[in-house]
């Protein structure tokens, strides 16, 4: 009995070594193929690493270029003047970017004020109220809307919204921060509502069941249970919408009026960081202070948008810990 | 008894009639607002298409633009749009997919890789105009080539690279582990597994991503204005990478706000309709087959 097992194990051992030997001997087409496959495998991995590093390289060279050109501004313009002066007239060597910084924040805030309530209502409608067929129809439609080019929204704003606003106010001032905020609202609405819709949909069913079992109506369940539970997902959507609103260029350029004055009224032509850059950058020589100031404004935008990503990351971590 | 009930008053036990009324009002309100917004958005889309599409002629689509007189077409701008889209996809899709595959398959879980992920996410959120400024600094200043098709296409590719990376990573991560293990168990190398098992399973997500990226590149205008200019070379089928490359989206803006042609309104109406129509077509052609496939497999 013992002998038999030992013989068997010996046999298996020899079989294994025979197989190993034939591979080690390095003969036959099988082996070439193996080497080739391993070589392809390794070079593919290296190519993948290279492309991943390339993506990082792009981000860092953007940061580097924007900073290097932007920081030259402060050679000619004091920092306090750049950030806090409202006088932007490059022809007279005065570069105060406060108007644009303020405009960007005011516009984003106004956009969020209009778009967040509307988006949450649509998200609640899609996730909780609408019948199933309607939900299946609406989600792809909203996904489609995210892809409509911004210049088309700007065009609509220019040809439809501004004449309408002029009629309503009865003046011939239509363009300004309100018009831009309405156009941006239409643009960020699909983004925020789709992400909030996903966040509301993944709230566990048992929460809702528990709330109904306590005798709550649907209204109470949604406002006191579902939305608080989906809070971090909704915040994520709002921040993404905000990033889009801050960085949006063409739609804003077409309706905001492009005049460097402080946006202290809803119907007053003004300008934001993005619109000012795109309107002026083509007309200035590369080495001028004017150009450097525009790059500094771009660098500001870049920093704001990167800060938002850090915020999103923190939110996600908080959501994961809960 | 009474004190007990008031003691356990939850947040739901207020006046019942009021609650029911609130609930009904709320449902009504949500339906109303949603219907308004959705109808409004659909009306906008319909308006664009209805204003432009009926008066569309072949001469307009293929014709050369004019600076002064009526009757200019959008031929070169439309051609540039597709040409630039193609070049930017040729750069962004392979690079983005490989970076995504690296993050999903090869990358170890450590600090460096999570930093790389933050970089990708950060790059995805950079406003498009920054890519335009970067394009100017790179192509106009460093390489001294001026406003060209290749400059625009590369800047567009940079814009789309992070989106492509993230979409690929997510799609590949969503593939069930069993698939991968089965492929390894059959003795496949990692590359074979990725090519024959992971990518075919994740193709739906990847195609959706390419579609998204293509639509974005096709409609993008801020980057193009800064890096490829607002003029065309003035001839049709100009494959030269170094000629100025105004696209359709830029043309729409340019005609509406800068040009002096008398029929600017009709040109921009028609350009907007063509632009929206092509974007809708992208989505319909690529995504509807995928929906149908998903419905069937469910």
Q: Complex ipTM above 0.90?
A: no
C-beta atoms of B226 and A160 within 8 A: no
Closest CA to A240 of A301, A196, A178, A201: A196
Question: What pLDDT was estimated at residue A192?
Answer: 92
Considering only CB atoms, which chain B residues are within 8 Å of A72?
none
Domain boundaries, chain B: 2-54, 56-297
Whether residues A166 and A295 fall in one domain: yes
Residue A255 has pLDDT above 80, yes or no: yes
Are the C-beta atoms of A86 and A98 separated by less than 8 Å? yes
What confidence tier does B265 reach under pLDDT thresholds 50, 70, 90? confident
How far is it between the farthest Cα atoms of chain B?
90
Are the C-beta atoms of A44 and A272 separated by less than 8 Å? no
Residue A94 belongs to what H/E stretch?
A: strand A94-95
Question: What pLDDT was estimated at residue A18?
Answer: 47
In a domain, A169, yes or no: yes
The residue with tokens 């030992």 is A6
At B4-44, the pLDDT tens digits run 444 445 555 556 677 788 888 888 888 888 888 888 888 88
Residue A6 has pLDDT above 70, yes or no: no
In a domain, A92, yes or no: no
Exposure pattern of A164-190 as b/e (b: 16+ CB <10 Å)? ebbeeeeeebbbbbbbbbbbbbbbbbb
Residue B3 has pLDDT above 60, yes or no: no
B25 DSSP β-pair partners? none
In a domain, A40, yes or no: yes
In a domain, A173, yes or no: yes
- Centroid of chain to Cα A263: 25
B232 DSSP β-pair partners? B245
In a domain, A83, yes or no: no
Closest CA to A37 of B195, B210, B15, B68: B195
C-beta atoms of B222 and A121 within 8 A: no
Whether residues A112 and A44 fall in one domain: no
Residue B157 has pLDDT above 90, yes or no: yes
Interface test with chain A among B28, B42, B77, B119, by most A beta carbons within 10 Å: B119
Whether residues A67 and A181 fall in one domain: no
Question: What pLDDT was estimated at residue B296?
Answer: 67
Residue A233 distance to chain B (closest CA, Å): 17
Whether residues A105 and A68 fall in one domain: no
In a domain, A180, yes or no: yes
In a domain, A164, yes or no: yes
Handedness of CA A112, A118, A124, A127 (dihedral sign): negative
Whether residues A55 and A146 fall in one domain: no
Are the C-beta atoms of A154 and B280 separated by less than 8 Å? no
In whole angstroms, give the CA distance from residue B213 to residue B250.
Answer: 18
Chain A residue closest in CA terms to B217: A149
Chain B residue closest in CA terms to A138: B38
In whole angstroms, give the CA distance from residue A169 to residue B127.
Answer: 33
Task: Give yes or no for A52 touching B (CB within 8 A).
Answer: yes
Considering only CB atoms, which chain B residues are within 8 Å of A118?
33, 37
Considering only CB atoms, which chain A residues are within 8 Å of B165?
52, 55
The residue with tokens 């220019």 is A158
In whole angstroms, give the CA distance from residue B47 to residue B53.
Answer: 10
Q: Quote the number of domains for chain A.
A: 2
Residue A117 distance to chain B (closest CA, Å): 11
Beta strands A94-95 and A88-89 are antiparallel
Class of domain B56-297: mainly alpha
* The two structure tokens encoding residue B129: 């105009």
In whole angstroms, give the CA distance from residue B219 to residue B29.
Answer: 35
Mean pLDDT computed over B171-176: 90
Which of the listed residues A72, A107, A133 is the one where a domain comes to its end?
Answer: A72
Residues 6 or more apart whose CB falls under 8 angstroms from that of B289 comprise: none
C-beta atoms of B126 and A62 within 8 A: yes
Range of the domain at A122: 97-321
């Amino acid at each position: 009995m013992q002998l038999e097992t030992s013989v068997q194990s010996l046999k298996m051992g020899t079989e294994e070594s025979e197989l190993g030997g034939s591979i080690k001997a390095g003969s036959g087409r099988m082996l070439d193929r193996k080497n080739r496959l391993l070589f392809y495998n390794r070079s593919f991995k290296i190519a993948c690493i290279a492309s991943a590093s390339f993506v990082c390289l792009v981000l860092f060279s953007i940061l580097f270029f924007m900073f290097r050109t932007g920081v030259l501004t402060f050679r000619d313009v004091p920092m306090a003047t750049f950030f806090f002066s409202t006088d932007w007239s490059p022809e007279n060597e005065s570069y105060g970017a406060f108007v644009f910084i303020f405009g960007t924040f005011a516009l984003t805030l106004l956009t969020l004020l209009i778009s967040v309530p509307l988006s949450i209502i649509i998200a609640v409608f899609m996730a909780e109220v609408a019948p199933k067929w309607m939900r299946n129809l609406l989600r792809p439609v909203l996904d489609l809307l995210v892809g409509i080019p911004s210049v088309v929204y700007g065009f609509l704003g220019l040809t439809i919204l501004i004449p309408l606003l002029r009629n309503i106010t009865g003046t011939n001032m239509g363009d300004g921060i309100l018009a831009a905020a309405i156009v941006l609202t239409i643009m960020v609405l699909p983004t925020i509502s789709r992400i909030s819709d996903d966040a509301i949909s993944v709230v566990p069913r048992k929460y809702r069941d528990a709330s109904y079992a306590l005798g709550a109506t649907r209204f109470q369940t949604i406002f006191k249970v579902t939305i608080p539970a989906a809070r971090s997902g909704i915040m994520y959507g709002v921040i993404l919408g905000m990033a889009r609103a801050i960085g949006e260029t063409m739609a804003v350029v077409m309706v905001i009026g492009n005049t460097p004055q402080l946006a202290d009224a809803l119907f007053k032509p003004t300008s934001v960081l993005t619109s000012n850059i795109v309107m002026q950058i083509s007309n200035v020589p590369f080495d001028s202070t004017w150009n450097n100031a525009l790059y500094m404004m771009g660098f500001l935008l870049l920093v704001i948008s990167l800060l938002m990503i850090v915020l999103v990351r923190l939110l996600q971590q908080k959501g994961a810990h809960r | 008894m009474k004190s007990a009930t008031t003691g356990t008053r939850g947040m739901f036990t207020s006046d019942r009639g009021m609650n029911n009324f609130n609930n009904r009002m709320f449902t009504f309100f949500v339906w109303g607002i949603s219907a308004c917004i959705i109808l409004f958005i659909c009306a906008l889309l319909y308006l664009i298409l209805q204003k432009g599409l009926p008066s569309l002629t072949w001469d307009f689509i293929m014709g050369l633009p004019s600076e002064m007189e009526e009757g200019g077409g959008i031929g070169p701008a439309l051609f540039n749009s597709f040409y630039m889209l193609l070049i930017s996809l040729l750069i962004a899709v392979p690079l983005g997919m490989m970076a995504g595959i690296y993050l999903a398959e090869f990358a170890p879980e450590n600090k460096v890789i999570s930093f790389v992920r933050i970089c990708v996410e950060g790059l995805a959120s950079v406003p498009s105009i920054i890519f335009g400024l970067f394009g100017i600094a790179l192509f106009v200043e460093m390489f001294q080539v001026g406003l060209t098709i290749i400059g625009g296409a590369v800047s567009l590719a940079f814009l789309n690279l992070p989106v492509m990376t993230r979409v690929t990573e997510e799609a590949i991560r969503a593939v069930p582990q069993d698939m991968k293990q089965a492929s390894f168990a059959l003795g496949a190398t990692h590359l074979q597994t990725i090519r024959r098992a992971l990518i075919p399973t994740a193709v739906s997500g990847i195609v959706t991503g390419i579609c998204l990226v293509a639509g974005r590149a096709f409609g993008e205008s801020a980057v193009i204005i800064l890096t490829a200019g607002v003029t065309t070379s003035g001839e049709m089928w100009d494959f030269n990478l170094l000629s100025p490359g105004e696209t359709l989206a830029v043309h729409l803006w340019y005609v509406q706000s800068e040009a002096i042609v008398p029929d600017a309104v009709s040109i921009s109406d028609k350009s907007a309709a063509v632009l929206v129509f092509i974007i809708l077509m992208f989505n319909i052609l690529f995504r509807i087959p995928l929906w149908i496939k998903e419905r069937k497999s469910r």
